[in-house]
Amino acid sequence: MTHADVTPNAPTDQQPTIGLIGMGAMGKMYAKYLSAAGWKKIHVCDLPEMYESLRATYENTPGISVFPDGHGVSRTSDLIIYSVEAESINKVVAQFGPSTKVGAIVAGQTSVKAPERAAFEQHLPGDVHIVSCHSMHGPTVPTKGQPLALIKHRASDEALKMVENIFRPFQSRYVYMSYEEHDELTANTQAVTHAAFLSMGTAWASASSYPWEHGYYVGGIETVKVNIMLRIFSNKWHVYAGLAILNPSARMQIKQYAQSTTDIFKLMLAADEHGLRKRMYEARDAVFGDAKGPVRRPILLSEGILDQFSLGKKGPHANSNSNRPIANSHLSLLAMVDCWARLGHNPFKHLELAATPIFRMWFGVAEYLFRSEGRLDGAIQAALYDVSHRYDDVEFVVASRGWSQCVSFGNFEWYRSRFQETAMFFESRFEEAGRVGSEMLKVIMDSSTEVADGTCAD
């Protein structure tokens, strides 16, 4: 038996040593699952100043040994996973890569692979394998059933098999791709989706308005917008900055999103009903045309389900007769589908391949809106003639252009301050939103996995 075939039940001396460099949210998640599965030799480190506190954290966790830095981890491990900031990957691999054990396998968890690939190619010795990875979900989402990208870049089949076996306890769904395919896919799914939610947050913060307080955003689709926005702003800024700024494909997609937002807003201001309807119907047909997707149950079951996860109470602005939220232009969603159409994307393909939970939700609400003529026409009418959301819409246009410029300039400091300023505004609700958001993702993910007749429920 070789390391490649071994399971966590094997005697300790026959098990591979698994190294984790970077013990932030993702490193800790991997340590937790791998140790719980019974892998008995897990060597971890963070920055040297974290050594003592990491030792204290793991002193009673079976299988985990803490090292002062990445040299010890690299020299002793058969599989080394770098889970550090994308912006730092080059520096960290330059430091510890040369210490990699002969014949070991090296992986990275970074959400954007272009810098990781360059760092590995430049700094790793020629006698080590590169099989990279990316768990396509945040650290608090259970790994079971989620896509886990595996990138066999410079490696033997045996090395890939060993990585598959080590990660098996995650019960994730392996998706095989190249480094380039990874970055193209995540630009299409993650980067542009985040642009929409970052813009919502910045727009609401710029208007100094908590969306759950004024009654417009407390039901149905609005619940998804608010909960996911809060989830993103409660995560680390560098995760979003890295995957947008360092992904060569992301800039253009985010720019198109801002352009779609602006174009639609101009049609709204001009009350150009014919122009807006034509553009939205064309976008809908391009993205949701019948031939596009497999027949399956749509992602959202009902507004009733979503309403359970609302952070606010229906207030005076909610339409109390029908108990449904008031009409909204849904500018962020009109722009999303328009953007997918103009970029020639087929989000069904992305869903099948490797969608993150947030993309899945976002696609779900877009589908919910666009696959119902009544709902889409309601949004178009509201966009053209109901001015109650205009204040939010104008803030949204400005915010989406701001995020696009920020990503285009590639300035991490600017990104950090934009992100943190908005995050500060919403901070008091992060804890509750994390809990409610996780529950919402779980219920909706569970409801979206079965194949059914493809019709959209009310």
Ligand X SMILES: O=C(O)C(=O)Cc1ccc(O)cc1
Ligand Y SMILES: NC(=O)C1=CN([C@@H]2O[C@H](COP(=O)(O)OP(=O)(O)OC[C@H]3O[C@@H](n4cnc5c(N)ncnc54)[C@H](OP(=O)(O)O)[C@@H]3O)[C@@H](O)[C@H]2O)C=CC1
Contacted entry of ligand Y, ligand X, none for residue 68, CB cut-off 5 to 8 Å set by kind: none
Question: Of these, 6, 7, 10, 25, which contacts ligand Y (CB under 6 A)?
Answer: 25
Candidates 6, 47, 207, 457; binder of ligand Y (CB under 6 A) is 47
For residue 207, the Cα-to-chain-centroid distance in whole angstroms is: 26
* From 36-44, 52-60, 206-214, 352-360, span contacting ligand X (CB under 6 A): 352-360
Site string for ligand X, 75-114 (x = CB under 6 A): ------------------------------------x---
152 φ/ψ angles, rounded to the nearest 5 degrees? -90, 95
358 binds, among ligand X, ligand Y, none (CB under 5 to 8 A by kind): ligand X
DSSP 324: B
Q: Segment 355-414, which members bind ligand X (CB under 6 A)?
A: 356-358
Stretch that binds ligand X, among 131-139, 200-208, 216-224, 410-418 (CB under 6 A): 131-139
Which option in ligand Y, ligand X, none does residue 251 bind, with CB closer than 5 to 8 A by kind?
Answer: none
Cβ-based nearer residue to ligand X, 16 or 357 = 357
List binders of ligand X among 154-213 (CB under 6 A).
190
Q: Which residue's CB is nearer to ligand X, number 85 or number 393? A: 85
DSSP run (H or E) holding 398? helix 390-409
Query: Within 10 Å of residue 447's Cβ, how many Cβ atoms?
Result: 16
Contacts of 396 (CB under 8 A, 6+ apart): 199, 200, 203, 261, 331, 332
Give me the sheet containing 79-82, strands edge to edge.
64-66, 42-45, 18-21, 79-82, 105-108, 129-135, 147-154, 173-176
Q: Using CB under 6 A, pick the residue from 43, 137, 284, 345 that binds ligand X.
A: 137
Q: State residue 9 phi and psi, 5-degree precision.
A: -80, -10
Q: Are 90 and 113 in contact (CB under 8 A)?
A: no
Site residue total, ligand X (CB under 6 A): 10
Q: Which residues of 322-338 are buried (b: 16+ CB within 10 A; e: fewer)?
A: eebbbbbbbbbbbbbbb
Instruction: Kindly state the smallest distance separating residue 24's Cβ from ligand Y, in Å.
Output: 2
How far apart CA 433 and CA 22 sit, in angstroms, is 27
- 252 contact, one of ligand X, ligand Y, none, CB 5-8 Å limit per kind: none
19 binds ligand Y (CB under 6 A): no
Applying CB under 6 A, which of residues 20, 34, 151, 232 lies at the interface with ligand X?
232
Q: Kindly state whether residue 136 participates in binding ligand X, applying the rule CB under 6 A.
A: yes
Q: Of the candidates 31, 84, 150, 379, which one interacts with ligand Y according to CB under 6 A?
A: 84
Q: Using CB under 6 A, which residues numbered 197 to 236 contact ligand Y?
A: 235-236
Which of ligand X, ligand Y, none sits in contact with 341, Cβ below 5 to 8 A by type? Answer: none
Q: Which residue has the tokens 């937002």?
A: 261
Q: Which stretch binds ligand Y (CB under 6 A): 9-17, 44-52, 278-286, 323-331?
A: 44-52
Alpha helices in 298-389 (DSSP H): 303-307, 331-343, 347-354, 357-370, 373-385
Neighbours of 68 (CB within 10 A): 17
Minimum separation from the CB atom of position 228 to ligand X (A): 8
The residue from 20, 64, 86, 187 that contacts ligand Y (CB under 6 A) is: 86
Q: Smallest distance from the beta carbon of 340 to ligand Y, in angstroms? A: 23
Q: Which amino acid is at 272?
A: D
Closest CA to 150 of 454, 438, 353: 353
- CA-CA-CA-CA torsion sign (130, 133, 139, 142): negative
Letters for 92-131 (x = contact with ligand Y by CB under 6 A, - = none) are x----------------xxx--------------------
Q: What CA–CA distance (Å, rounded) separates 428 from 282?
A: 41
72 binds ligand X (CB under 6 A): no
Let me know: does 72 contact 48? Beta carbons within 8 Å: no
Find which of ligand X, ligand Y, none residue 232 binds, CB within 5 to 8 Å per kind: ligand X
Q: What H or E segment, with its residue span, contains residue 418?
A: helix 412-426
Tokens of 372: 């119902």
d(CA 100, CA 331): 50
Binding residues for ligand Y, rule: CB under 6 A, are 21-27, 45-47, 70, 83-86, 88, 92, 109-111, 135, 138-139, 235-236, 239, 242
Please give the residue ranges that form the binding site for ligand X (CB under 6 A).
111, 136-138, 190, 232, 239, 356-358
